[in-house]
Amino acid sequence: MEELSKIDREIRELLENKLPSLSERIDKENMVPGSFIETLRDYEVFDPKSLGELMEMVRIASRSSPAVAHLILINGTAKLLLNKKLRLRRKIVAVSITEAGGGSDIKANLSTRADIVNGKFLLKGTKFFTSNALYADYFLVLAITGKGPTLFLLEKSKNIKIEVMELTAMRGAGISVVHYNDAVTESVIGEEGKGLKYALMAINTGRLGYSVIGLGIAEGLLSETVKYAKEKVVFGKPLIGLQGPRWMIAELYSKIDVLRAYIKDILANEKNVDPLKASIAKVLGARLSQEASWISIQLQGGRGLAKGSLYERLSRDSRALDIGEGAREVLLDFIGYRTSKIL
Ligand SMILES: Cc1cc2nc3c(=O)[nH]c(=O)nc-3n(C[C@H](O)[C@H](O)[C@H](O)COP(=O)(O)OP(=O)(O)OC[C@H]3O[C@@H](n4cnc5c(N)ncnc54)[C@H](O)[C@@H]3O)c2cc1C
């Protein structure tokens, strides 16, 4: 299938051919094996050179392991934000914003505090759904100071405690509850009191990335489904020779092609990802991956429901795309509001 952007041949090979053999284990154990994390570091997967490169890695990984794609994406969104000032080569960064009260209304639910003690900030509070936390060397954390919500960078330390969450989706993405127990930092990202603005920059890239995960899931499911539909014979014909299945596949292929073109168009202006387009792409990507999961399971018949199969894993993961990086309803509200201003 057509690429979103050029990437290193060895990285493509790693994500396309080696990752699929690990993806079931990653999902089962809710963890990426340490040796594979090191391989990803060695291949510079955690040091994207451009947004296009990041999104292409995410697309390929999503075909077999959306969780690994998620890990690459969240680190990448943070690195692209930080790299203007900091170089954290080989390091993995987690993004820690959501709290117990919920992630949609970030500001109202923000209770993690950062108080100045001896010229340094001490962070105290608990975050939920911090992706990458299990593997992270650094944490980007939103906390309140006297000047308002502020984004901080913290290095892993004994004052940061992690409890990995047992979710049904994105298993292995290291999504965790993280306790900051007087965790120390001097590193403010951007301006103190303007943290929401910087957090939203990373979230905006993340929204585009979620649409790419949706695209990758749909591509992965489509290619498996076409393979199956060519081999499976019903009523004396291959499944693909029947009009019903052929139309389902045709519709899926067409929508994938259109979404890929839309994402490529957004990526043409890498330095300035349009929040409206990123939101539209996210809503469409989530919907497309869920449709792909329905079609692929349907055409497999009963065996499409086998536990632990690629279809089952990708279906579960596709569901998360309507929640992470902004719930579907919040994005539709934003799209509707912007539409009312444009038209
Ligand atoms: C896979 C995954 C990865 C994540 N990774 C991270 C991460 O790395 N870092 C991080 O900080 N957070 C992360 N999150 C949290 C994520 O940002 C929140 O889940 C998301 O913002 C929604 O917040 P919530 O789940 O608390 O739902 P709530 O805010 O409690 O909302 C619940 C539901 O209410 C509805 N709703 C909310 N607001 C509106 C509205 N205005 N109009 C209509 N309906 C509305 C929606 O249906 C929504 O799903 C992740 C979540 C998931 C699922």
pLDDT of residue 92: 98
CA of 204 to the centre of ligand 1 (A): 14
Angle among Cα 268, 131, 197 to the nearest 5 degrees reads 55
Q: Nearest Cα to 117, choosing from 71, 184, 64, 173?
A: 184
Whether 102 lines ligand 1, by a CB cut-off of 6 Å, is yes
CA of 130 to the centre of ligand 1 (A): 12
- Domain positions in the chain are 9-91, 94-193, 197-342
Q: Per CATH, which fold does 9-91 belong to? A: Butyryl-Coa Dehydrogenase, subunit A; domain 1 (1.10.540)
Strand 113-117 to 120-130 pairing: antiparallel
Atom of ligand 1 nearest to the CA of 127: 11
Whether 326 lines ligand 1, by a CB cut-off of 6 Å, is yes
Give the mutation target among 105, 162, 171, 330 for probing the ligand 1 site: most ligand atoms within 8 A of CB.
330
Q: Nearest Cα to 46, choosing from 62, 58, 64, 63?
A: 58
Q: Token pair 């994005």 is at which residue?
A: 331
Task: Name the β-bridge partners of 149.
Answer: 144
Residue nearest to atom 20 of ligand 1 (CA): 103
Is 153 within 8 Å of 163 (Cβ atoms)?
Answer: no
Whether 206 lines ligand 1, by a CB cut-off of 6 Å, is no
Note the CATH number of domain 94-193: 2.40.110.10
Whether 112 lines ligand 1, by a CB cut-off of 6 Å, is no
CA of 329 to the centre of ligand 1 (A): 10
For residue range 219-263, list pLDDT tens digits in order.
999 999 999 999 999 999 999 999 999 999 999 999 999 999 999
Residue nearest to atom 37 of ligand 1 (CA): 104
Is 229 within 8 Å of 236 (Cβ atoms)?
Answer: no
**Contacts for 280-283 with beta carbons within 8 Å, 24 or more apart?**
280/335, 281/207, 281/208, 281/211, 282/207, 282/208, 282/210, 282/211, 282/214, 282/321, 282/325, 282/326, 282/331, 283/328, 283/331, 283/332, 283/335
Tokens of 135: 């593997």
pLDDT of residue 83: 74
Strands (E), 196-286: 233-234, 237-238
| Helix or strand (DSSP H, E) at 121 | strand 120-130
Please give the C-alpha separations between residue 143 and each of 11, 139, 149, 321, in angstroms, as whole numbers.
36, 12, 5, 25
pLDDT of residue 84: 62
CA of 98 to the centre of ligand 1 (A): 8
- Please identify every stretch of the chain with a pLDDT value under 50, giving residue numbers as ranges: none
CATH 1.10.3470.10 assigned to 197-342? no
Residue nearest to atom 51 of ligand 1 (CA): 324
pLDDT of residue 156: 98
The total of other beta-carbon atoms located within 10 Å of residue 114's CB is: 26
| Helix or strand (DSSP H, E) at 299 | helix 275-300
Q: Do domains 9-91 and 197-342 have the same CATH topology?
A: no
pLDDT of residue 298: 97
Q: Rounded to an integer, what distance in angstroms lies between the CA atom of residue 180 and that of residue 115? A: 12
Residue nearest to atom 13 of ligand 1 (CA): 129
- The DSSP output letter for 133 is G
Is 94 within 8 Å of 57 (Cβ atoms)?
Answer: no
